[in-house]
A and B are shown apart, each in its own frame.
Chain A
Amino acid sequence: MTTAPISSGAELAAKREPHEDYVHQHHWRNAADEAEAAKFGMWLFLATEVLLFSGFFCAYAWGRMTHYGTWREASHAYLDWKIGAVNTVVLLLSSFTIVMAIRELQLARKWRAFVYLGITNLCAIFFLVAKIALEYLPKLQDKKLPGANFWYYNPHGTHDHLFMSVYWISTATHGVHVLIGVLVISWAMYWTARGRYGPKNFMFVENTGLYWHIVDVIWIFLFPMLYLV
């Protein structure tokens, strides 16, 4: 991936990419307004995401208050902090790579951006595979299931099933967000390869990055709450 300078006019025309001709939508006065609005809208959406997860955090806080001992012991007994830690590192790395992808688009180096997006996506897929293969499936087999379906033969406390409820619904909802992230990043990769995004038009990728950060940040809170308590 070299960025050799373009020498001739003919070469320029041949290499012209869609993002260079980007025109903002008709109802905007200029592209800057449009880009700012898109980013503003995304931040509002992130606020709704935080508030969505606030329900789980409140349920967690309630359980920690009313079933104090259980909350601590169930975490130690059923969750392996090492798997959580590896996944945390992987997500943090992916947040870095998606920022680099936006940086490369701003510098009009689409293939580098493509690779960074690819690494981000691999991290996301790794997270999901690790989550399902190392955590969800063994727990399913042991019947360490939420609430009324908790039939693990050797429970540690009287309210383990409630801890597992909070664990399952919060991590599963987070997992769905990771899955949506994979789809959106794949979409961004496809259109990056097709040349839609560049210095004039990178807001979709930037908003994808913002979304991906909030998914990361939520996990940063879930990890200590569930695994390190």
Chain B
Amino acid sequence: MGHHDRPYYASKETLWKTIWSWIYTVDHKKIGVMYLCAVLLMFFLGGVFAMALRAELWEPITNVTKQVQAEVQATDDAGRLVYENGAEVLVPVLNDDETPVLDADGEPKVEPKKNDAGQKVNAEGEPLGDPVMTPEVDADGNPVYEEVIEREGELFKGWTSESGTVNSNNVYNRLFSLHGTIMVFLFIIPAIPAALGNIFLPIMLGAKDVAFPKLNLGSWYIYIIGGLFAVYSLIAGGVETGWTFYTPYSTSTNWGSVTSMVLAAFILGFSSIFTGMNFIVTVHKLRVPGMGWFDMPLFIWALYATSIIQVLATPVVGITLLMLVFERTLGIGIFDPALGGDPVLYQHFFWFYSHPAVYIMILPGFGIVSELIAVHSHKRLFGYRAIAFSSIGIAAVSFLIWGHHMFTSESPSANVVFSALTFLVGLPTAIKVFNWTSSLYKASISWTTPMLYAAFFIFCFTIGGLTGPPLATLATDIHLHDTYFVVAHFHYVMMGGTVLAFLGGLHHWWPKFTGKMYNENWARLASILVFIGFNITFFTQFFLGTQGMPRRYATYVPEFELLHKISTFGSWVLAIAFLMHAVVFAFSLAGGRRAPRNPWGGLTLEWYADSPPVEHNFSHEPLLTHGPYDYDLVVPPGWDPADYPLPDPEAVARAHGH
């Protein structure tokens, strides 16, 4: 039985069989790896759009009024217009009887000599070329000036609209819309649950697979179909509605391919629903014997809470987007004010999903950070149950606060209720942050790349979280809404939160699912660069926002130039750092040291499996003898300080009483 001792990704006898073993697999690890490749590709694509729009803001589209000297066509001494190959030839105008035509003063009338084709010709009979221009002067001989409006900074001059006219503002609109749509629907929602969650949820539960392996594969194919719709929309003109597809603009614009992009988001929703269903049932039914709910790793709790939101919220956005498609194709009019519909109704529908969806994005990140802190500080997590329940608490509250996206378009009384409910989210979130920081107290922290990311996460996410209350407060939100403050806030939560946690988790579990170690020092350098670049890019945007820079504008007044340029500079640092990560991973795959079973000294079940795991994860069903974070009771299994990738494993070993 080969699958008991060979890695799950081992090649088959022929190349074709190997490829087939991937496209037809029901193994959650392979599906997770395929998801990982897909979401990383989408992260790259969304990142390219982000870089492009930041580059546009380096030198934004501006109308510059310039004084230029006016020009007129030069004439020679005889008053004839001069061209580059000679002056025009004036010939008399003749009557039918060959007598000259006279003007009012009795002089013969003259006209430029022309050839048979009607072109003016010079003395040699050649057609005249371009006119010679000369500066215009007034009667006193002083130069005459005129005002000309020039458009500067059109980085995307080559891009043309369907009607053939250049319109850089529309290019900018498409860039941020595509950045948002791809990052939200194709990267950040599936990134942690569908990729890392798929690989590790069953292993951490001690199971052989998820509950419904075929549905799992189906969800990947649905994701790919949705991705193809999105890529088609991108090629066929893109969208410029923003990722939220707000009506009435999204129902009335004929630009680009809104319908197919909305369908892409609709299809991707099913992929998300199926993953969520799978995880919920797996957690309920496939925990290894002896593993109670409070023996589960906190990553599983976070994925469980995420899955509840995926299952309960995604269908609502599904039907909303479907109604948007009906609106565009059949003109049903429910969101169309011209037909008696209500565009704000769309916003309610949309945010009823999309607010919970931001917790689909961040909750798995919370779960990863819990794992990273426990494993890399080698210490029992403080407040396990509080962290576990706070995930469920966030999932519950997430359904009650969608109205805070519409403070400027709904009734004042609704505003008060939604504002108050929004503050509730701060409670479970703060519980998590306080527990993490408490866990670090007196811990023997090893500053591996994953641990660095956990620390960066706490730093950035706390900033992101604490800039939420000004937006939840009605009075301040009226000032801050639709400014860069909002942009900075959600990037601190989504990128400073989810993306940093995702990268931390990727490094944490990389040795487990690839079987290779990466170069710790280069990865640490790259992670520090990510942190620096991220903060340069987005911290400036808080200032821009409070000073009144509105979001989604292709241009700005000169006062904002310095901050915008700093922000764009930060995006370059980020790009370099991400490329460094990619190179580190590539070197790891090509020639990395073989990963030991338990490189970090973790206690959860995936560290009992081989690196990489065999096809059914474990050779024998694991026997659960301790809790996930019992570092004060148990020496991590199969862990040898000599395996430790850092130069100072002795300190770590002492923490374990070696």
Instruction: Provide the bound-state CA to CA distance between A63 and B334, in Å.
Output: 8
Contact A41 B281 (CB under 8 A): yes
- Measured CB to CB, the closest approach of chain A to B448, in angstroms, equals 33
> Within the assembled complex, what's the spacing in Å between the Cα atoms of A133 and B437?
67
Q: What distance in Å separates the Cβ of B327 from its nearest Cβ neighbour in chain A?
A: 8
A17: CB under 8 A from chain B?
no
Instruction: Report yes or no: B281 in contact with A159, Cβ–Cβ below 8 A.
Output: no
Taking a contact as CB atoms under 8 Å apart, the answer to whether A40 and B281 are in contact is: yes
Q: By the criterion CB–CB under 8 Å, are A147 and B311 in contact?
A: no
A26 (CB) vs chain B CBs: closest residue: B208
Nearest CB of chain B from residue A175's CB, rounded to whole Å: 14
Query: A40 contacts which of B284, B316, B340, B342 (Cβ < 8 Å)?
Result: B284
Residues of B contacting A110 in the complex (Cβ-Cβ under 8 angstroms)? none
Asked whether, in the complex, the Cβ of B320 is within 8 Å of the Cβ of A162, the reply is: no
The reply on A73 being an interface residue by CB < 8 A is no
User: Interface readout for A127-150 with B: 1 if CB under 8 Å, 0 if not?
Assistant: 000000000000000000111110
CA A168 to CA B315, docked complex, whole Å: 19
Contact of B208 among A27, A44, A47, A59 (CB under 8 A): A27
- B212 interface residue per 8 A CB criterion: yes
CB within 8 Å for A146 and B333 given contacts A59-B345, A62-B342: yes
Query: Knowing A53-B319, A146-B330, A149-B331 touch, does A41 contact B342 (C-beta < 8 A)?
Result: no
| Distance, CA A50 to CA B212, complexed state (A) | 22
Q: From B349, which residue of chain A is reached at the shortest CB distance?
A: A55
CB distance from A72 to the nearest CB of B (A): 16
Tell me whether B635 is interfacial, beta carbon within 8 Å: no
User: Which residues of A have CB within 8 Å of B284?
Assistant: 37, 40
Q: Shortest beta-carbon distance, A159 to chain B, in Å?
A: 5
Separation in Å of the B274 CB from the closest CB of chain A?
9
Asked whether A162 lies within 8 Å of B212 as measured between CB atoms, the reply is no
**In the complex where A62-B342, A149-B331, A158-B340 touch, is A44 in contact with B319 (Cβ < 8 A)?**
no
Could you tell me if A169 and B326 are in contact, using CB atoms closer than 8 angstroms?
A: yes
Q: A51-B316, A52-B315 are in contact. Are A162 and B341 (CB under 8 A)?
A: yes
Q: Known contacts A33-B285, A162-B340; is A52 also within 8 Å of B318 by CB? A: yes
A206 to chain B, nearest CB (A): 15
Q: Judging by beta carbons under 8 Å apart, are A44 and B315 in contact? A: no
Residues of B300-332 contacting chain A, CB below 8 A: 311-316, 318-320, 322-323, 326-327, 330-332
Q: Is the interface of A mostly helix, strand, loop or mixed?
A: helix
Residue A10, interface by CB 8 Å: no
Among A37, A47, A146, A162, contact of B281 (Cβ-Cβ < 8 Å): A37
A27 near B209: Cβ-Cβ < 8 Å: yes
**Are A169 and B333 in touch, CB under 8 angstroms?**
no
Q: Judging by beta carbons under 8 Å apart, are A58 and B349 in contact?
A: yes
CB distance from A212 to the nearest CB of B (A): 19
Name A148's contact: one of B208, B286, B311, B333 (CB within 8 Å).
B333
Bound CA span A134–B145, Å? 77
Within 8 Å CB of B280, what residues of A? 40, 44
Whether B277 sits at the interface, judged by CB under 8 Å, is: yes
Query: Which A residues from 94 to 113 make CB contacts under 8 A with B?
Result: none
Contact call B333/A162, Cβ cutoff below 8 A? yes
* Set A27, A36, A52, A162: member contacting B339, Cβ < 8 A: A162
| Interface membership of B336, Cβ < 8 A | yes
A9 to B421, CA, bound (A): 70
B465 interface residue (CB < 8 Å to A): no
Q: Are A54 and B330 in contact (CB under 8 A)?
A: no
Give 14 A-B contacts (CB < 8 Å), ordered by A residue: A26-B208, A26-B616, A27-B286, A33-B286, A37-B285, A51-B312, A55-B319, A58-B345, A58-B349, A66-B342, A147-B330, A147-B332, A147-B339, A162-B333
Q: A27-B209, A44-B280, A169-B323 are in contact. List 9 more A-B contacts (CB 8 A).
A: A37-B212, A37-B286, A52-B315, A52-B318, A67-B340, A146-B331, A149-B330, A162-B332, A165-B330
The chain B residues found within 8 Å of chain A, CB to CB, are: 207-209, 211-213, 215, 273, 276-278, 280-281, 284-286, 311-316, 318-320, 322-323, 326-327, 330-334, 336, 339-342, 345, 348-349, 616
Across the A-B interface, the 3 shortest Cβ-Cβ residue pairs: A148-B331, A55-B319, A147-B333
